[in-house]
Amino acid sequence: MKKNSALLMVDLQNDFCVGGNLAVPEGDAVVSVANQLQKYFDFVIATKDWHPKNHFSFASNHFGKKPGDIIDLFDIQQVLWPDHCVQSSKGAEFHPKLNVSPISLTIYKGIDPKIDSYSAFFDNGHLRQTELTDCLQKKEITDIYVLGLATDYCVKFTCLDAIQLGFNVFLIEDGCRGVELNPGDCKKALAELQKVGVKIIHSNHWIKSVG
Ligand code: VGL
Ligand code: ZN
């Protein structure tokens, strides 16, 4: 068990996996990595993208727009997505193979229809916080191990905020997959994260090192 460490599993939901509305290539592949790592952590956290049907990040809610288009949403650049992770829908459920029993905290994000929330900590405008920072501080967590979907969006922005908040951040590379709207987006995201101090690790190497 890693003391003062938390495993943060980002958006391991049906819609980001094969057959989902916003399927990430090989998204399913990260579930077994997540399951394997859980036992090394006392504190296992999951996030859920949890949008109301009228969410402004959905292309369907903007006349004449299609997924992949970029709009200005209250002065924030917003990529438009297919409808996904609609609250209480099948697509918003965790992947059926994910072991959910060790999850002691689930953070719901993207609930406000007017603003998207890629990060598990803040919305995209940094206007509102989730309860995550408080929960981590109460448990005296210093190190956060992040995996999930998608590398180039929710994983990336979660890691950036975590670094800014002063945590030691480890990104489990084989536990992540990206959308890759533009080829190379994942690579770019990893390079950007490394630059600000995120340590990029591989699950197998890490398991060996902790025994
Ligand atoms: C995500 C796009 C839209 C993610 C969520 O989980 O990375 N990406 N909503
Ligand atoms: Zn979303």
Q: Assess if residue 77 is contained within a domain.
A: no
pTM above 0.85, yes or no: yes
Instruction: Judge whether 73 lies within some domain.
Output: no
39 annotated active-site: no
Domain-embedded: residue 44: yes
Report the candidate in 191, 135, 202 with the shortest Cα–Cα distance to residue 162: 135
Q: CA torsion 60→63→64→67, rounded to 10°?
A: -30
pLDDT at position 77, please? 96
pLDDT tens for each residue of 34-46: 999 999 999 999 9
- Residue 3 main-chain phi, psi, to 5 deg: -75, 150
Split at pLDDT 50, 70, 90, the class of 208 is very high
* 178 is a domain residue: yes
> What CATH number has the domain bearing residue 46?
3.40.50.850
The confidence band for 1, taking pLDDT boundaries of 50, 70 and 90, is low
Nearest CA to ligand 1 atom 2: 153
User: What band does 27 get if pLDDT is binned at 50, 70 and 90?
Assistant: very high
Range of the domain at 174: 5-52+87-210
Q: Is residue 199 part of a domain?
A: yes
pLDDT at 192: 98
Q: Is residue 35 part of a domain?
A: yes
Confidence of residue 3 (pLDDT cuts 50, 70, 90): confident
Nearest ligand to the CA of 11 is 1
Q: What pLDDT score does 28 carry?
A: 97
| Substitution site in 153, 159, 160 for ligand 1 pocket (most atoms within 8 Å of beta carbon) | 153
Catalytic residue status for 48: no
Q: How far is the CA of 154 from the centre of ligand 1 (A)?
A: 5
Ligand 1 in reach of 122 Cβ (< 6 A):
no
Q: Is residue 169 part of a domain?
A: yes
Known catalytic residue: 154?
Answer: yes
Instruction: Tell me the per-residue pLDDT of 58-97, one tens digit each, with 9 for 90 and over.
Output: 999 999 999 999 999 999 999 999 999 999 999 999 999 9
Half-sphere exposure of 114 (CA within 13 A, CB side): 5
Burial bucket for residue 60 (CB in 10 Å: 0-12, 13-18, 19+): middle
pLDDT in tens, 12-26: 999 999 999 999 999
Among candidate residues 17, 49, 85, 109, the one labeled active-site is 109
- What's the number of domains the chain is made of? 1
75 part of a folded domain: no
